[in-house]
Chains A and B, each alone.
Chain A
Amino acid sequence: MNTPNPAPTTVGAVPWYTSPVYIGALVTVISTLATLAPKAANALGLTTPGAIQTSVQNVFGVIALLSGIFTALKRQSSTVQPLTLTQAQADIHPATKQVKGQAGFFTMDTSYLLIGTAGVVLFLMNGCASTTAANTVNQSLLAAATLNNTVVTTVDSLVKSKSVTSEEATAALAITDDIDAALALANTAAQAGESSTVTAKLAAITTALTAVQTCLAAGNLPTTLSTCLQGVSPP
């Protein structure tokens, strides 16, 4: 029977001059060469393993420095995200105006506030400290309900500031309605002592709330809020 090949794993790319393995390999090569050709190594002052390692790392450090300078110079001439000296200049830059014309664009101020709010409340949901199981459930329910309310008020603020369209806000409202209904069910189940139901509901609610907050926080990405919210499963 044929089995599908697993997808190759990777941790992302790095430039060659920052790889510890690559630097180590080069130190080994030069050390070997120094052993094979001691006169040449002596002429370069590479008489000990420590000296070789220091020398290689210094060379690579210079390359990294030059690369950083090159990157900084190239970054200044970037047309993808041009740099300006002040926020005022950035606001009136043609590239900024072009992006602001796209649906789903939030200002950085908005995004940071959204991220901050999301971080605080998600921490609430995961960081509850209680001595009884019943109180832990109550804490989670209260935190989730508060977060859902915060999502609604945040979207309302975005509507008022015309940062999202009425269609996008309606899509968000449909999801918060689903979350509110699930919260009501979870609360009823908690009062009836149906712990397994409560646990399952709370897990689904947390997943949905996290996804919604991610969409709100990612509002300045090149996608609309509606598109992002389509990926949110109702609890």
Chain B
Amino acid sequence: MTAASLLALIESLIAAVPNLVTLFGELKSGATVTEDQIETALAAYTTARAQLAADIAAEKAAGD
């Protein structure tokens, strides 16, 4: 693993942490979760999945 790829990995993972912490705070406080929030989270999967599928395809093309 190169330094650049490691940095990219850490940056992407750290970027997800604030969202998780915010969600954690909301849920622990008993805040009401709306249907829109669930729909948004489910829709976000489509985007994340497309990105992963594209990167898998790129890796396959590069011969892993």
Q: Which residues of A contact B (CB under 8 A)?
A: 100, 107, 109-110, 113-114, 116-117, 120-121, 123-124, 127-131, 135, 138-139, 141-143, 145-146, 148-150, 152-163, 165-166, 169-170, 173, 176-177, 180, 183-184, 187, 191
B42/A184 in contact, CB under 8 A: yes
**Is chain B's binding surface mostly helix, strand, loop or mixed?**
helix
A143/B27 in contact, CB under 8 A: yes
A146/B23 in contact, CB under 8 A: yes
CA gap between A154 and B53 in the complex, in Å: 13
Q: Which residue of A lies closest to B30 (CB)?
A: A129
Q: Which residues of B contact A (CB under 8 A)?
A: 1, 5-6, 8-10, 12-14, 16-17, 19-21, 23-24, 27-30, 32-35, 37-39, 41-42, 44-45, 48-49, 51-53, 55-57, 59-60, 64
A142/B33 in contact, CB under 8 A: yes
**Is chain A's binding surface mostly helix, strand, loop or mixed?**
helix
CA gap between A160 and B5 in the complex, in Å: 7
A161/B49 in contact, CB under 8 A: no
Given A117-B16, A130-B30, A143-B23, A161–B45 Cβ distance below 8 Å?
A: no
* In-complex Cβ contact of B9 among A127, A143, A161, A177 (8 A): A161
Q: Which residue of B lies closest to A147 (CB)?
A: B20
Given A142-B41, A165-B64, A169-B56, A129–B20 Cβ distance below 8 Å?
A: no
